[in-house]
Structure 1
Amino acid sequence: MSKTTQIQNQSFILHPTGVIFWEEKSMLLIADVHFGKVSHFRKHGSAVPNEAIYENFKQLDTIIQVFNPVKICFLGDLFHSYINNEWLLFSDWISKTNAEFILIVGNHDIISPDKYEDLGIKVGSELILDNFLLSHHPEEREHLFNFCGHIHPGVLLKGLGKQRLRLPCFYQTENQMILPAFGEFTGNHTLEPTEKVKIYAITKKEVILVHQ
């Protein structure tokens, strides 16, 4: 189950896959996919199932069917490292997906922008739309609300009997929302709740407001 929130009179749907759909712009915001990471792990001997390579593509196809976006904006770290066999899968996926693509470059995006532009993907360091700043790293900019990634935010939930559960989350402050990492095997960094923060934990099926 998704969760809809209003920010500066705009509607944003937070989805359990970790993406955000900006309704007024018909735009998907997706952070930290890290394509190629599974192949990178396997190349260096990690026992990661080969089927895991296809999970990101399956998830992307699912959310595109749900929202049918006009634009898809990747908020950095689209690819984990250099080109590997997942680039061919990505190229094929892009060619079959009917949307406008934008990549906000992250610290892992070391593949030449020319390669992305050859696929019809617009590449930039940031994007400002209305009063919103889309970036990879968290940014504080006067009069702008920032959507970003990079941190891979997670939250630690504690229950009775010393139960502890760590989940990825959307982490929202007054002027910023950090998206969870979309990609498989990306991990997360636990962020502490503070007084003026909203935290939306995500499970496989639900987005849950756990702190505000």
Structure 2
Amino acid sequence: MTQEISILGNTFTLHPSGGILWHEKKMLLIADVHLGKISHFRKHGSAVPLKAVSANFDQLSRVADYYQAQSICFLGDLFHSSLNTEWKLFEKWVQSREEQILLIAGNHDIISPLKYDSLKISTYSEFQSKGFLLTHHPEEREGFFNFCGHIHPGFRLGGIGRQVLKLSCFFKTENQLILPAFGTFTGNYYLEPKSGDQVFAVTKNEVIQVC
């Protein structure tokens, strides 16, 4: 189950994958996929199942197929590090898609822009459109509402008997919305909401507003 919200007169749908559909622009926003991280870990001896590599691509295809957007905008850290075997898988995935693909470069995006150019992917340091600012790092800029990633936001949900459920989340303040990390094996940074903030926790199949 998704959650629909309105910001500056525009409609956005939050998906359990961590993606957001921007209806007016027919654009899918995704942050922090960190492709290549699993292969990087495996190369250095970590016991990460090989099938986890395909999980990111399967998830990307599911959310893209669900929304049928005209464009997909990655809000940074699309790849975790330098080129590895997952780049070939990414090439095949891009070639299977009809959407225009954009990348807002993040601190982990060290692969040459020429490699993205060869796949007809446009790269930017930021993207502005009618009062909205798309970045990787969170930005506070007068006159703009900011969509960003980088933080990998999480939320601790308390239960009976001191049980604590730790979930990824969309974290919304007055002028900013931080997307959860899309990729697997990325970890979370647990944020404490202040008065007026909204938190939309992510489970496997639902987006649930918890405050």
TM-score range, shorter chain: over 0.9
Q: 2 CA distance for matches of 1:131 and 1:194?
A: 24
The alignment-based identity, stated in percent, is: 57
Q: How many Å apart are 1:64 and its aligned residue?
A: 1.3
Q: Distance in 1 between matches of 2:67 and 2:81?
A: 29
Write the distance in 2 (CA, Å) between the matches of 1:24 and 1:138: 23
Distance 1:170 1:64 in 2: 19
- SS of the residue 2:147 aligns to: strand
Aligned residue for 1:25, secondary structure, equals coil
Partner of residue 184, structure 2: 184
Instruction: Look up the match of 1:201.
Output: 201
User: Which amino acid is the alignment partner of residue 95 of structure 2?
Assistant: S
**Alpha-carbon distance in structure 2 between the residues aligned to 1:193 and 1:129:** 27
Describe the superposition over 1:81-101 as per-residue Cα deviations: whole angstroms up to 9, x where unpaired. Answer: 000000000011101100101
Look up the match of 1:22. Answer: 22
Matches within 5 A, 1:161-172: 161-172=161-172
Aligned to 1:91: 91
Match of 1:131 in 2: 131
- Counterpart of 1:184 in 2: which secondary structure? coil
DSSP 3-state at the match of 2:210: strand
3-state secondary structure, aligned to 2:140? coil
Matches within 5 A, 1:151-162: 151-162=151-162
Deviation at 1:159, TM superposition (A): 1.1
Superposition deviation, residue 55 in structure 1? 0.5
Three-state SS of the structure 2 residue aligned to 1:171 is: strand
Structure 2 alignment gaps of length 5 or more = none
**Cross-structure match for 2:106:** 106
CA distance in 1, matches of 2:140, 2:71: 25
- Distance in 2 between the 1:78 and 1:61 partners? 15
Partner of 1:54: 54
- Per-residue Cα deviation, 1:163-202 (whole angstroms, up to 9, x for no partner): 1011000000000000000001001100011112100000
Aligned letter for 1:125?
A: S
Matching of residues 33-48 of structure 1 within 5 Å: 33-48=33-48
Q: State the 1:154 CA deviation.
A: 0.1
- Residue 79 of structure 2 is matched in structure 1 by 79
| Residue of structure 1 equivalent to 2:148 | 148
Alignment of 1:64 onto 2:64: yes
TM-score (norm 1): 0.99
Ranges of 4+ aligned residues in structure 1 off by more than 6 Å: none
| Matched letter for residue 204 of structure 1 | K
Distance 2:184 2:18 in 1: 11
The two structures have a TM-score, normalised by structure 2, of 0.99
Q: Which residue of 2 aligns with 1:31?
A: 31
Q: Deviations over 1:63-91 (max 9, x none)?
A: 11110010000000000000000000001
Residue correspondences, number: 211
Q: Secondary structure at the match of 1:166?
A: strand
